[in-house]
């Protein structure tokens, strides 16, 4: 459908942002943005042309010439204003996010808020971007470091957090003095674009932030572009591995946060009610579409007797459209996602796992066309089954049973992914043993989704992460800057001549 036909049909189009202007794409390739609860077409998003990607990068490259010299206090004040604008528009942003992604309104607000925390952190860039100084390292010689911006940076974001993940990326990159090209998910770009509008309102100059939309061709163009210096990615392992390899081959810095299989270990001494509530929320919240979802439960010893109570807890959750009050579990993002999840549930049954709660084909009055899958629980799961080996990315919890904590640790460490894990216990000794011996980037103790606040860095590991540095926190300042070391000596007229020194020493 071309632009004229779209306009005639009354369907809005998502714009590109190039050099400070929101512009209509000239592409012939478009995708529907669909409400996952109703199948209503909310908008059409363009797959940008190669020329449009080049124009966005060129605008960012030109803007970098002046933005890099902008005082750090000026940059900080922009993000002070930006965080206030996000707060003022929180309900509007959540409503847009729910309509296009399917999350419940409270969860959508949480999505925005966790991104807002990083914006607040970016407002403190003056302290984060400090260098180091050593005075008089030799006679009259000082050495100091400068953390200087790289140039044009880019970010590729996923559908499951269309507010939080973009806010993980461009605020910190821009606060460090870089310019940015953002490619949101083509499945739900509308809330991202509203956040971009607010960023411009906060004072981000033209060309400093640019947005292109699209699929694999646009991703490849970003990875290959000679003027982009760094690429940040969050999404699937398959795409993330491709992005990392392609961007690295093109000589760019890259950080890719990817898939996961997050295990939660429950010991029999854990607080039962607190643990069951935590697991139900962490496994089924956001319809299981979180890279940090606690999708895999490991019951140790007598804790395996808790399965019936966990099933009862999951059965009590309300499935409905995210806009309906009291909803616990909304729809998954697309018809294709629903079909894939249902196919994996069927595979779990075929491979011998016990389906103790089947969430397929729930009846949701008024939303019969929605992409709904209810909370689903498998017991008796073993490594080697597809439902264990693959990331389901839906409201499906799988349960494994072991006899000891050592067995649980060995099981988790044998899994290739290392995004997050958790242990539930009242034993300080057991918790300390777990956090010391587990080979996973983020560990929760009696906390099922251990995503750190922005003063720390997101630290996924192994197959869940490519690149040495993570998003936000101190690590991302290192990612978005180049350290320059300056060694300086100044002479007055009386001490200017020391003769010729043919050694490398400083005297």
Q: How many residues does the chain have?
A: 507
User: What backbone phi and psi angles, to 5 degrees, belong to 125?
Assistant: -60, -25
Instruction: Report which DSSP code applies to 30.
Output: E
Could you confirm whether 291 is annotated as catalytic? Answer: yes
> SS3 for 15?
coil
Residues contacting 320, CB < 8 A, separation 6+? 326, 327, 329, 330, 364, 367
Residues contacting 174, CB < 8 A, separation 6+? 67, 75, 122, 180, 204, 208, 209
Q: 134 has which bridge partners?
A: 143
Instruction: Report which DSSP code applies to 322.
Output: T
Packing angle of the helix pair 90-101, 105-122 (nearest 10 deg): 120
Cα Dmax for the chain: 90
Cα separation, 231 vs 82, whole angstroms: 23
> SS3 for 46?
strand
From residue 121, alpha-carbon distances to 222, 457, 460 in Å are 27, 12, 20
Helices (H) and strands (E) in the chain, counts: 17, 22
How many C-alpha atoms does 162 have within 13 Å on its Cβ side? 28
Cα separation, 468 vs 254, whole angstroms: 9
Cα separation, 443 vs 439, whole angstroms: 9
Q: Which of 223, 256, 291, 335 is catalytic?
A: 291
The residue among 395, 394, 361 whose CA lies nearest residue 375 is: 395
User: What backbone phi and psi angles, to 5 degrees, belong to 13?
Assistant: -110, 145
DSSP one-letter string for 75-99: HHHHHHHHHHHHHHTHHHHHHHHHH
- Residues with a catalytic annotation lie at 291
């Amino acid at each position: 459908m071309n632009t004229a036909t779209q306009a005639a049909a009354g369907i809005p189009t998502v714009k590109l942002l190039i050099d400070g202007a929101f512009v209509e794409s000239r592409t012939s390739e478009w995708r529907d943005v669909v409400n996952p609860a109703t199948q209503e077409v909310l908008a059409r998003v363009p797959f940008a042309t190669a020329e449009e990607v080049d124009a966005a990068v060129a605008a960012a490259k030109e803007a970098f010439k002046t933005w890099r010299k902008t005082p750090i206090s000026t940059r900080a004040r922009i993000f002070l204003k930006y965080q206030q604008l996000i707060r003022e528009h929180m309900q509007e942003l959540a409503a847009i996010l729910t309509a296009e992604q399917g999350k419940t309104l409270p969860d959508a607000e949480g999505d925005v808020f966790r991104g807002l925390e990083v914006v607040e952190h970016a407002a403190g860039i003056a302290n984060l971007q400090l260098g180091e100084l050593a005075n008089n390292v030799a006679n009259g010689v000082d050495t100091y470091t400068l953390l200087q911006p790289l140039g044009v940076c880019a970010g590729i974001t996923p559908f499951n957090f269309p507010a939080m993940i973009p806010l993980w990326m461009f605020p910190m990159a821009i606060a460090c003095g870089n310019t940015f090209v953002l490619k949101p998910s083509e499945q739900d770009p509308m809330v991202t674009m509203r956040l971009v509008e607010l960023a411009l309102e906060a004072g981000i100059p033209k060309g400093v932030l640019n947005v292109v939309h699209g699929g694999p061709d646009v991703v490849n163009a970003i990875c290959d572009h000679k003027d982009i210096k760094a690429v940040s990615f969050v999404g699937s392992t398959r795409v993330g591995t491709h992005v990392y390899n392609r961007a690295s081959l093109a000589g760019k810095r890259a950080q890719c946060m990817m898939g996961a299989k997050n295990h939660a270990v429950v010991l029999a001494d854990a607080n039962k009610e607190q643990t069951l509530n935590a697991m139900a929320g962490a496994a089924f919240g956001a319809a299981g579409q979180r890279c940090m979802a606690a999708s895999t439960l490991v019951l140790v010893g007598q804790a395996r007797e808790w399965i019936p109570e966990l099933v009862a807890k999951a059965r009590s959750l309300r499935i409905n459209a995210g806009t309906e009050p009291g909803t616990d579990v909304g729809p998954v993002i697309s018809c294709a996602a629903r079909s894939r999840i249902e196919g994996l549930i069927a595979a779990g049954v075929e491979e011998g796992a016990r389906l103790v709660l089947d969430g397929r084909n729930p009846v949701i009055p008024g939303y019969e066309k929605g992409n709904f899958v209810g909370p689903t629980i498998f017991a008796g799961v073993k490594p080697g089954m597809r439902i264990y080996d693959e990331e389901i990315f839906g409201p499906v919890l799988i349960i494994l049973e072991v006899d000891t904590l050592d067995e649980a640790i060995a099981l988790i460490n044998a899994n290739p992914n290392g995004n997050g894990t958790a242990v539930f216990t009242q034993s300080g000794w057991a918790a300390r043993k777990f956090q010391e011996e587990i080979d996973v980037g983020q560990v929760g103790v009696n906390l099922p989704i251990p995503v750190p606040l922005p003063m720390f860095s997101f630290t996924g590991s192994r197959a869940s992460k490519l690149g040495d540095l993570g998003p936000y926190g101190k690590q991302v300042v290192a990612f978005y800057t180049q350290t320059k070391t300056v060694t300086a000596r100044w002479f007055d007229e009386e001490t200017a001549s020391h003769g010729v020194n043919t050694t490398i020493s400083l005297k």
